[in-house]
Structure 1
């Protein structure tokens, strides 16, 4: 009977250990977030400046278009800053409006070790309604 109690206690202890949550927590970021800036450089484009302050990995920017987050250059290598590198990609063909932008650094685009940069908001295109008679 003593054996059964010890065995049961071991099973209970193992059960408690095995029920610890395995999801819901991202891996701790080991990289610093990117140094970012964004500017409306034409009525339909935004230029990003992305600096990777880390000695490994890549940094990239993101843009929210139609309430969906996209990688700023749609995964073109020209939009990824390598270690201690700065890149200035351009996103053109944007509709008039305000865009939310950010960026990440990590070992790759899908790794769980990503460090998120600050959020930014940039407006492109006409923001004021036209006024005047337009010849009427």
Structure 2
């Protein structure tokens, strides 16, 4: 089950569907790597493993071009795409992002980026834009 988009405008839902369609090929992590996403060694419980395409970190928000893909390894160590994440340099104004006010951008001083998660590939009971997903549990034997 993917995230529940109830309560979001039809425009926001359409934008999330665009993000999902644009990243479908990255469900296979090898396709993401071939297209320039690289492991940035950010592994966070209730998020996952982060792969970034640095050339996309340019200050422009495009739902179809997430700067970061987030993967969760299953029990066998296979990486499953669970979320997309948007990143805009922190020295720029807070991005508008998705239509409406439901998205939650985090100004991350450590990475010097505005960050926004969208759980378009895995259900998040906390909401599609919440950065943490209690359903994502890293499997220690594969980290």
Greater Rg by CA: 1
Q: Structure 1-normalised TM-score?
A: 0.28
As a proportion of its length, which structure holds more strand? 1
TM-score after normalising by structure 2: 0.27
